[in-house]
Amino acid sequence: MDPTVFETHPDRYHHWKLAVAGEVATLTMQVDPGHPHRPGYELKLNSYDLSVDIELADAIQRLRFEHPEVRACVIGADLDRVFCSGANIYMLGLSTHSFKVNFCKFTNETRLYLEDASAHSGLGFVAACKGTTAGGGYELALACDEILLVDDGNSAVSFPETPLLAVLPGTGGLTRLVDKRKVRRDRADVFCTLAEGIKGKRAKDWGLVDALVPRSKWDADVAVRAQAVAARQVATTRGPAVALTPLAPSISASSLTYRYVSLTVDRAARTAQLRIQAPDGPPPADAATAGADLWSLRAFRELDDALLRLRFDHPEVAVVVVRTAGERANVLAHDVALDRDGSGFAREVRLLQRRVLKRLDNTARSLFAVADAADSCFAGVLLETALAADRFYMLVDGAGAVAVATSPANAGPNPMASGLSRLEARFYGEPGGVDRVLARGAEGPIGSADAEPLGLATIALDDIDFADELRIAVEERASLSPDALTGMEASLRFVGPETLETKIFGRLSAWQNWIFTRANSTGEHGALTLYGRPERPTFNFTRT
């Protein structure tokens, strides 16, 4: 199977049209049925698959970096009486279990990135639903700031997954319905079991949409709403514009090599080595002059791409060993420069780093960070990758060359889905641990002998035991049930408060993962399997 390509450009879109006019952009869904992500199905009625969402994610990212003049984006559709009919059901029926779960995870992350742009980037979104808005289409609308529904007596919003497919609205729909839009749960219960959905006045009264607009006034009312959303965003500094250039990794069957990131897969051992290289020198005086080549931006775009390819193209990998290399001082200098830079571009780089680190948190692989060389560089924002790992192994050397270092990146700007920083999550039962680490980090690099007592290293060993201890740990981990590990890791990583994000990834995704394996949905006579056929599904009606 060909590797999945997550990089694209508006010039190569098959399913979206992006247009910018002053401070308002329009992103129009016009799915090409003949360009699915994989052959075997047609993307009819603006149904979507991974290829559609890859383009959506790209468009959102480009609006944030390349179009700082834009304050509002209208997401609409160019198909008569259909906004979006949701995820393509035949695609789901043909996909492996791991693909279905990762597809849901990616679409969830994309919608969260859209909400993140609204919350932090001065870029609001209006869903202009001029027709049927079902399943994932309504979930996309829920991620916007406002939802407009055409009032034509036919158009409805719906979550038909439970009654038709015996699954859940898997890209955050249930959570956004009650937590974000605060729809009463009894009404949400009715809504989620009506395959035909709800339209007109009831949709507005129940809080499922923000406004009903007659077809005769559609264009004018959408324009007014977009301008109003844009006006609410003027307090946020944006720009300067920076073009996102291609990453162009070197790809083989077992490796990915970028400028700063590499991923090497050992299929027989079911392991991967992820390596991140520090910048070659200090940051430029003006970050924007480096453009997309700024290390803080490029390295994390590369890491993001590598993580997505790992998820989709290497499902057999059980354990990822994360290493870093380079000059710690250069990473710290880049972090400090980014922290002091008040431009909109610098803010977008910091927010991208935050999103990529969350992608790492959400990756269903055992993550072992390893510092075992003098040039190991878990410093500042790269230390966050070690704090995101399930374990952190450090080699104790007599010279103290193996060390970690802290920067402003560790003091709060990179929260997890819970809202806690990774240091706060690490020391959840010991709040003073965060201040202790940051205070010690302010004095200089923290050697491996001190990192374990401080609570940074999970295990610190000398060179007599280190290699064998690490090898045994990796081999043992790879021998365990991947299902049990995925559940265990997700439960342990999301320590602390529950938020919309932790509900989506820790609760909703876990249930969807389980439901996708159940015969009621994906068995020989399950609802998803039989969708579009004359046979009716056969359910096992035993409740757990």
Query: How much is the pLDDT for 6?
Result: 97
Strand ranges of the sheet holding 24-29, from the earlier edge strand across to the other edge: 16-21, 24-29, 72-77, 124-129, 146-150, 211-213
pLDDT score of 158 more than 70 = yes
Q: What mean pLDDT do residues 520-529 have? A: 92
Q: Select from 99, 15, 113 the least CA-distant residue to 63.
A: 113
Query: Do the strands 271-277 and 47-48 form a parallel or antiparallel pair, or are they unpaired?
Result: unpaired
d(CA 343, CA 237): 7
> Residue 334 corresponds to which amino acid?
H
Looking at residue 23, what is its pLDDT? Answer: 97
Residue 330 has pLDDT above 70, yes or no: yes
Encode burial over 219-246: b for 16+ CB neighbours within 10 A, e otherwise: eebbeebbeebbeebeeeebbeebebee
Residue 96 has pLDDT above 80, yes or no: yes
Q: What angle do CA 355, 183, 56 make, to 5 degrees?
A: 35
Q: Which of 4, 214, 27 is nearest to 124 (CA)?
A: 27
* Statement: residue 512 has pLDDT above 90: no
Rounded Cα distance between 120 and 351, Å, is: 8
Banded pLDDT at 54 (limits 50, 70, 90):
very high
> Does residue 1 have a pLDDT over 70?
no
Whether 157 and 149 have beta carbons less than 8 Å apart is answered as: yes
For residue 27, what pLDDT band results from cuts at 50, 70 and 90? very high
pLDDT of res. 509: 72
Least confident of 18-22, 206-210, 399-403, 405-409: 399-403
Task: Map out the domains of the chain with their CATH numbers.
Answer: 10-231 (3.90.226.10), 250-485 (3.90.226.10)
Residues 6+ apart with CB under 8 A from 249: 256, 257, 258, 302, 305, 306
205 pLDDT above the threshold of 80 = yes
Average pLDDT over residues 360-376: 97
Instruction: Give CA separation, 26 vs 17, 23, 86, 280, 329, in Å.
Output: 8, 10, 20, 39, 43
Q: What is the DSSP letter of 164?
A: I
pLDDT at 538: 94
User: How many Å apart are CA 105 and CA 355, to the nearest integer?
Assistant: 13
pLDDT of residue 399: 84
Rg of the chain over CA atoms, in angstroms? 24
Report the percent of the chain where pLDDT is more than 70.
Answer: 100
CA distances from 125 to 33, 407, 439 (A): 26, 34, 41
User: Comparing 512 with 77, which gets the higher pLDDT?
Assistant: 77
Q: How many angstroms from the chain centroid is the CA of residue 122?
A: 20
pLDDT in tens, 471-502: 999 999 999 999 899 889 988 998 999 999 99
Q: Can you count the helices (H) and strands (E) in the chain?
A: 22, 23
CA 505 to CA 512: how far, in whole Å? 10
The pairing of beta strand 146-150 with beta strand 211-213: parallel
pTM of the model: 0.96
The contacts of residue 406 (CB under 8 Å, 6+ apart) are: 379, 380, 383, 437, 438, 441, 442, 446
Structure tokens at 218: 């559609």
pLDDT, the chain, mean: 95
pLDDT at position 544 is: 80
Q: For a pLDDT cut of 90, what percent of the chain falls above it? A: 92
| Nearest alpha-carbon partner for 179 in 121, 115, 120, 238 | 115
110 to each of 18, 103, 226, how far by Cα in Å? 17, 11, 21
Look at residue 427 and give its three-state secondary structure. Answer: coil
Contact 150, 127 (CB under 8 A): no
Smallest CA-to-CA distance from 286 within 329, 337, 330 is with 337
Read off the pLDDT band of 505 (50, 70, 90): confident
For 375-390, the pLDDT digits (tens) are: 999 999 999 999 999 9
Q: What's residue 267's pLDDT?
A: 96
